[in-house]
């Protein structure tokens, strides 16, 4: 005997709901896969020179158009991408004459204030490698007879988990501008413009090292945090002539000496070296000829002090160069001297060489 099966109205409704749910799950899974793919692609955050009000932008290396980060516009001064790439901390000038720190997720949204500095000028944020602390420069300002008076810059430390902030150095008289962390998170360097020194300090142990320099730099670290590099000005046999030398401090032995420039025939104007995350290559900027302001970028092996040149354009200078997380790409800011200030953002890779990415961009940073 043949039997005919039919669905009740309740069964049909349940199947329809299940079908809708399966479609929704598929859409969400596809979107999640797209988001994972998008995040895995190299991206860069930057500011544009011509933007008024200032805006943060994100651009990928896939040829897509740059997009603004929603919710972030106004009187931006600088910014720092978090180590995990989840968001960006940026500086906003306020109506009181100071500046404060704000946070926004990488995809934009509603920003939130992280630190209200009021009259004080809080700038140059630098994340600790673990993302738990933030070193920054703070000028304590006050009003004197109706005029805003700025104090000397001092490095401060913001504990993001506890929400507390205090001067980096326990001694109240010490000043310093900027901050740079060692890759292991143990050391913070800042520049003391009064004494012409770089002060390298451990927030945890309070150990301090001082390095004489006349160039105003913060120094840089090797990938394993054992070597600290900084530039210094050295007199030559000609009493009216000076040259820049590149110094290296060995934190395993305590030795300090000239790493590059001891026997140079002219001033190469060395910039600070930037180690690749793998530690096998160093990016170094220098001047090719005596008396010319333009620079070149070289990739050198630490043990050979030699390697290929990756950027050289007549009358160009390069700055803000950094490696991406796996050491396969380099982003930099390039500017043609003697022209209207319109810096370019360029990217270098072993496969494609040097490529122009943005024609009007400032302070590029990788977005992991």
Cβ distance 316 to 294 under 8 Å? Answer: yes
Q: Tell me how far the alpha carbon of residue 158 is from its chain's centroid.
A: 17
Sign of the alpha-carbon torsion through 21, 22, 27, 29: positive
Contacts 24+ apart (CB under 8 A), 335-344: 337/293, 337/294, 341/49, 342/49, 343/49
* CA–CA separation, 232 and 256 (whole Å): 12
Q: For residue 148, what are the contacts with CB-CB under 8 A and spacing of at least 6?
A: 97, 119, 141, 142
Q: How many helices (H) and strands (E) does the chain have?
A: 1, 28
Coil, strand or helix at 140: strand
Residuewise pLDDT in 10s, the chain (368 residues): 554 445 566 565 656 656 656 665 655 555 454 445 455 689 999 998 776 778 899 999 988 899 999 888 778 999 999 999 999 999 999 888 899 999 999 998 889 999 999 999 999 999 999 999 999 999 988 777 667 777 889 999 999 999 999 999 999 889 999 999 999 999 999 999 999 999 999 999 999 999 999 899 999 999 999 999 999 998 776 645 788 999 999 999 999 999 999 888 888 999 999 999 999 999 999 987 777 788 999 999 988 888 999 999 889 999 999 999 999 999 999 999 988 888 999 999 999 999 999 998 999 999 99
Q: What share of the chain is helix, strand, coil (3-state, %, to 5)?
A: 10, 50, 45
* CA–CA separation, 345 and 358 (whole Å): 5
pLDDT score, position 80 = 97
pLDDT score, position 79 = 96
Domain boundaries, the chain: 273-368
The pTM of the full predicted model, rounded to 2 decimals, is 0.85
Cβ distance 220 to 229 under 8 Å? Answer: yes
pLDDT score, position 100 = 95
Residue 244: which of 227, 225, 267 has the closest Cα? 267
pLDDT score, position 21 = 66
């Amino acid at each position: 005997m043949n039997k005919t099966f039919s669905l009740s109205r309740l069964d049909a409704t349940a199947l329809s709901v299940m079908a809708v749910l399966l479609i929704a799950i598929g859409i969400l899974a596809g979107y999640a896969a797209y988001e994972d793919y998008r995040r895995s692609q190299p991206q860069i955050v930057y500011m544009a020179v011509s933007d008024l009000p200032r805006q943060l932008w994100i651009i990928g290396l896939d040829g897509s158009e740059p997009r603004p980060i929603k919710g972030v516009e106004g009187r931006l001064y600088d910014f720092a991408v978090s180590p995990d790439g989840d968001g960006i901390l940026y500086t906003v000038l306020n109506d009181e004459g100071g500046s404060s720190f704000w946070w926004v997720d990488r995809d934009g949204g509603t920003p939130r204030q992280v630190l209200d500095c009021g009259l004080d000028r809080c700038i140059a944020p630098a994340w600790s490698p673990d993302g738990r602390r933030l070193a920054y420069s703070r000028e304590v300002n006050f009003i004197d007879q109706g005029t805003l008076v700025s104090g000397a810059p001092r490095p401060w430390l913001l504990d993001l988990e506890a929400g507390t902030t205090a001067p980096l150095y326990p001694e109240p008289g010490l000043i310093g501008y900027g901050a740079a962390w060692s890759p292991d998170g143990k050391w913070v360097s800042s520049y003391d413009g009064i004494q012409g020194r770089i002060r390298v300090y451990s927030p945890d142990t309070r150990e301090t090292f001082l390095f004489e320099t006349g160039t105003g730099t913060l120094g840089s670290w090797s990938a394993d945090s054992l070597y600290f590099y900084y530039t210094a000005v050295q007199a030559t046999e000609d009493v009216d002539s000076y040259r820049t030398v590149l110094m290296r401090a060995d934190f395993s032995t305590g030795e300090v000496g000239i790493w590059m420039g001891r026997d140079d025939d002219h001033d190469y104007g060395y910039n600070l070296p930037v180690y690749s995350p793998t530690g096998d290559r160093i990016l170094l900027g220098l001047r090719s000829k005596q008396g010319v302001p333009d620079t070149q970028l070289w990739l050198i092996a630490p043990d050979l002090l030699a390697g290929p040149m990756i950027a050289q354009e007549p009358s160009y200078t390069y700055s803000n160069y950094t490696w991406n997380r796996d050491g396969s790409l380099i982003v930099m800011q390039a500017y043609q001297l003697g022209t209207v200030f319109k810096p370019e953002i360029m990217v270098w890779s072993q496969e494609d060489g040097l490529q122009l990415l943005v024609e009007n961009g400032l302070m590029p940073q990788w977005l992991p």
